[in-house]
Amino acid sequence: MQTSPQKPCGFFLPKLVPSLIIVLTYEVPRRSHMSTVKNLSRQNFTRHETWAEQAKDWISYVARSSYLLQQGDYVADIAYFYGEEAVLFNTAPPAEIPRGYGYGYDFVSADAILTQMSVVDGSFMTLSGMSYRVLYLGGTSERMTLPVLRKLQKMVAAGGVVLGAKPVETLRLTDNELDFNRITDAMWGSDDSRDSAVRKFGEGYVFTGTEVDMALNKLHVPKDFDYTGGDRSTQLLFNHRKLLNTHIYFVSNRSDRPESLDASFRVRGKAPQLWYADDSRIEEASFQMANGKTVVPLDLGSFESIFVVFRENTTERSYRAGEAEGSLVASLDEDWQLSFTPKAGAPIKLEPVSLGSWSEQKNQALKYFSGTASYIREIDVPNS
**pLDDT for position 335:** 86
**pLDDT for position 115:** 96
* Residue 296 within any structural domain of the chain: yes
**pLDDT for position 53:** 78
Q: What is the DSSP string of 266-332?
A: S--SEEEEEE-TTT--EEE--EEEETTEEEEEEEE-TT-EEEEEEEEE---SEE-------------
Domain edge (last residue) among 218, 239, 262: 218
Specify whether 237 is located in the same domain as 212.
Answer: no
Specify whether 210 is located in the same domain as 294.
Answer: no
**pLDDT for position 341:** 76
Specify whether 160 is located in the same domain as 284.
Answer: no
Which residues, 6+ apart, have CB-to-CB distance to 353 below 8 Å? 334, 336, 338, 361, 363, 366
* Residue 69 within any structural domain of the chain: no
* Residue 17 within any structural domain of the chain: no
Domain edge (last residue) among 292, 319, 346: 319
Specify whether 161 is located in the same domain as 242.
Answer: no
CB 198 within 8 A of CB 160: no
Specify whether 182 is located in the same domain as 292.
Answer: no
* Residue 129 within any structural domain of the chain: yes
* Residue 3 within any structural domain of the chain: no
* Residue 7 within any structural domain of the chain: no
What pTM does this model have?
Answer: 0.82
* Residue 123 within any structural domain of the chain: yes
Residue 46 gets the label, from left (phi > 0), alpha (psi -120 to 50) or beta, of: beta
Specify whether 132 is located in the same domain as 212.
Answer: yes
Specify whether 165 is located in the same domain as 193.
Answer: yes
pLDDT in tens, the chain (384 residues): 344 555 555 555 555 555 566 655 556 665 555 555 555 446 666 777 777 778 888 889 889 998 999 999 999 999 999 999 887 766 677 777 765 679 999 999 999 999 999 999 999 999 999 999 999 999 999 999 999 999 999 999 999 999 999 999 998 899 999 999 999 999 999 877 666 789 999 999 999 988 888 899 999 999 999 999 888 888 899 999 999 999 999 999 988 889 999 999 999 999 999 999 989 999 999 999 999 999 999 999 998 999 999 999 999 999 998 876 777 778 888 888 888 877 777 777 777 888 888 888 888 888 888 778 888 888 888 776
Structurally, the chain folds into a number of domains equal to 3
Q: What is the DSSP string of 40-107?
A: SSS---STTSTTGGGHHHHHHHHHHHHHHTTSSEE--SEEEE--SSS-----SPPTTS-GGG---EEE
Specify whether 213 is located in the same domain as 234.
Answer: no
Specify whether 187 is located in the same domain as 229.
Answer: no
Specify whether 268 is located in the same domain as 345.
Answer: no
* Residue 40 within any structural domain of the chain: no
Specify whether 285 is located in the same domain as 212.
Answer: no
CB 85 within 8 A of CB 140: yes
**pLDDT for position 309:** 98
**Neighbour tally for 206: CB within 10 Å:** 24
Domain edge (last residue) among 173, 190, 218: 218
**Neighbour tally for 366: CB within 10 Å:** 18
Domain that holds residue 243: 225-319
Buried b (16+ CB within 10 A) or exposed e, 299-310: ebeebbbbbbbb
The domain that holds 298 is classified in CATH as: 2.60.40.1180
Specify whether 342 is located in the same domain as 260.
Answer: no
